[in-house]
Amino acid sequence: MRPTLRLRLTLVYGALFFLAGLVLLGVTYLLFNQQLAQTFDERYGAPTEPGRHRQIFIAKEDVTLTGDAAIDWLWREQQGLRDAAVTSLLTQGTVALVLVGGGAVGLGWVVAGRVLAPLHLVTATARKIAAAPMAERGLHERIALSGPADEVKDLADTFDTMVERLDHSFDGQRRFVANASHELRTPLTLNRALVELAMHRRTASDDVKDLGESLLEINARHERLIGGLLLLARSEQEVADRSPVDLADVVTHVTAQSAEPAADAKVTVYEAVAPAPTTGDALLLERLVHNLVENGIRYNLDDGTGWVRVVSRTVSGGKVEVEVSNTGPLVPPYDVPLLFKPFHRQAGERAVTGTSAGLGLSIVRSVATAHGGDVRARPREGGGLVVAVSLPRGGLADRLW
């Protein structure tokens, strides 16, 4: 575990404080020692070393010392007093340095935490944006740091400006896709009307009718593509108007609608429904389940033994879940994340006519994210795919309807 910046700053503060304290204690020792010697000399005179002759008189306890005896006694007194004073200074100074240094380290820890608090806010906001299921989903987050105009506030304001520009860019991209899709629907509708009019004329030949069928098929594929783009742009916005929805009802409805396409593809659809109440946009949730079942039918075996299983249930953690599994070609684990990218098709698609626009799972992910849920996918043992969509469970008030 690497040390944090707060710990490193605290250690630096503590080391500098102890170093300054040691220097101060050393300087105090030198000055004290010098002052003690000067004071002693001024009071008693500078004594000579023991053994050197000097005439001096000292009265001590009714005893008068002269000569070398007086010098010896004065020398011992001076050394004893100096040693006691120096020992007291060093001992008490060291204890005071340790106590005050410990307090300084604790105070440095608190101060470092307060100084680094804005950086923690920047980091938390960046992580929240990075943890969003879709990159553009978290771009509405802002730091909005208040405080003095220092370097940290400049960093936070610059970060907010960058995120705001990215948010505007993604919004513009979504609006462009929606507007372009709307504009493209009009000529496609007109083309379909003209082709149908030409095909149903009494003078229309068989070649014209065959050509009209081909043109209508191409036109229908383009309409599905544009419809998918519109739905994708819509589903990437958070759902604000929510209503109670039971995913079990959605699964039953979608599997009934998928009976004919499944029969044409020689695929059997099974359902295992249990109450799974949630809240959201019913049409979007229906499209989510429909895309999962449609993909399960399309990417399947063509020998009549294929199947698709759809399950709705309530799971732990206040979640409800829809799981769709199917037989089919083997899917490499590294290819699973690519399936959720727009316009990506599985390599083993049976429909060579291009009935898929490659937006099915992209729409599933966008709808799930807009409802506060998530999508998980994994290859099924033996071939095929297992896709599970988890959504927040509806509250008690939402279920009593």
Per residue in 173-217, pLDDT (tens digit) is 777 766 776 777 788 888 888 888 888 888 888 888 888 888 888
- Please tell me the distance from the alpha carbon of residue 287 to that of residue 239, in angstroms, as a whole number: 14
Where b means 16+ CB within 10 Å and e means fewer, 78-92 reads beeeeeeeeeebeee
Q: How confident is the model at residue 53 (pLDDT cuts 50, 70, 90)?
A: very low
Task: Tell whether the model's pLDDT for residue 123 goes beyond 70.
Answer: yes
Q: Where are the alpha helices (DSSP H) in 278-392?
A: 282-298, 360-370
> Is the confidence at residue 399, as pLDDT, over 60?
no
- Asked whether the beta carbons of 270 and 251 are under 8 A apart, the reply is no
- What's 359's DSSP letter? -
User: Cα dist. 320→68, 120, 316, 356, 369 in Å?
Assistant: 103, 34, 8, 28, 14
Query: In angstroms, rounded to a whole number, what is the distance separating the alpha carbons of residues 255 and 98?
Result: 76
Q: 311 — phi, psi (to 5°)? A: -130, 135
CB atoms within 10 A of CB 19: 10
Q: Identify the H or E element spanning 24.
A: helix 5-44
Backbone angle region of 51, left / alpha / beta, with phi > 0 → left and psi within -120 to 50 → alpha: left
> Does residue 232 have a pLDDT over 80?
no
Report the SS3 class of residue 95: helix
* Whether pLDDT at 55 is above 70: no
Q: What is the rounded CA–CA span in Å between residue 51 and residue 68?
A: 6
Q: For residues 65 and 73, is the Cβ–Cβ distance under 8 A?
A: yes
Query: Lowest mean pLDDT: which of 146-160, 259-273, 371-385?
Result: 146-160
Spell out the residues 6+ positions from residue 301 whose beta carbon is closer than 8 angstroms to its own.
267, 327, 328, 383
Instruction: Please report the pLDDT score of residue 354 as a whole number.
Output: 45
Which helix or strand (DSSP H or E) is residue 268 part of?
strand 267-273
Helix (H, G, I), strand (E, B) or coil at 389: strand
pLDDT at 353: 39
pLDDT at 150 over 80: no
Strand partners, 321: 313, 390
Cα within 13 Å of Cα(140), Cβ side: 5
Tokens representing 342?
A: 């727009």
Question: Mean pLDDT, the chain, as a whole number?
Answer: 78
Question: Helices 360-370 and 206-235 sit at what angle, rounded to 10 degrees?
Answer: 30
Entry pTM: 0.52
Residue predicted with more confidence, 215 or 342: 215
Inter-CA distances, 181 with 37, 185, 343, Å: 97, 6, 16
| Interatomic CA distance for residues 59 and 18, integer angstroms | 47
- For 196, residues 6+ apart whose C-beta sits below 8 A from its C-beta are 212, 216
CA 141, CA 226: separation in Å to the nearest integer? 31
Span 288-324, pLDDT tens digits: 999 899 999 998 998 889 999 999 999 988 899 999 9
* Cα–Cα distance measured from residue 250 to residue 312, given in angstroms and rounded to the nearest whole number: 9
* Beta strands 306-315; 267-273: pairing state: parallel
Residue 312 to residue 254: CA distance in whole angstroms: 12
Residue with tokens 């306890």: 61
